[in-house]
Structure 1
């Protein structure tokens, strides 16, 4: 009871009054980020690996494929996120059944996250010493075996660090989604902090986002240390 009273004394009354909405906004942000970074992991990882393998001199050595994929990745990454959200509203409605809310915002977030993470994966794989892959091929390993048993394990610390960066970046992007009806903490901060001038709610939303970023960064740093055997 004393702890609860202490917390109640710290949290502004304006924030306590909207606590149900605050909890809902946290859940919406978590949903948007979870969907988008899962899409990045599932689809961005193979795209990033393919970008590396298909480049000139790579294991597949199909520069036209690498250049085509690279062009698509660069085009998507060149869109400011707010513009991307508006540009793909018809697609969003087809996929999510609506153009507003966290599920709708998860569509452009996912589309943005896939090429974002793909480039990071490409760089992580590229940093693996070329000699390791060549030695595996000389020993009779197939391309898929080189990827699964050499490139990914050797690049794992960097891949985890890249994924951590992606999660943190899309926590921020999820807040931007609040500008266009995406819901979440960004929407809460705008509605109360900007539209109604209830600044404590806005500051509380920002603090929650900062704490979330710190937790993700700490978890990523620990994970990197665990898998890094160097």
Structure 2
């Protein structure tokens, strides 16, 4: 469909090979950041992680972490109780099942505690440049406002976007995240400044 192709091209043109706003130095830090970022802002995660990574600099130290101590580092993060438990379980599984090396395929990543499809895809997108789509709240909102999907779940929305866009999914995912975060916001979207204004028919559109 011509309109969908125009949307794709405009995303790629306006966001030049975008990357996540999460700050990380290695694969271990990336997976921890992505797990913490679920239903939490990247800005908040970036405030938490410097002290967290000083205390637990690698997967082995995280696997051996004391739960209460770990919670104290991430308590300003949403759902920190669950996340702390999952981080330790994830790290233990990496040490026990993958010889201390974080796996880089979807199936093995999803076998880890706290790592669902979205988290696995974001890790593979950011670390490997994999041709995957990942749907967070921003991507879900943007894709529905632009009538790219009518699906009720993130997983089904991901299928729609993957089918429509086919390639450059890693860049399109991140472009849609940033677009949803700063332009096509949940409240008061910046429609007058939007480069997709002429293609948008959303009922939320502010004229």
Tell me the TM-score range normalised by the shorter chain. Answer: 0.3 to 0.5
Q: Identify, as 1 or 2, the structure richer in helix.
A: 1
Larger radius of gyration: 1
TM-score using structure 1 length = 0.32
Q: Which has the higher contact order (CA 8 A, sep 6+)?
A: 1
TM-score using structure 2 length = 0.34
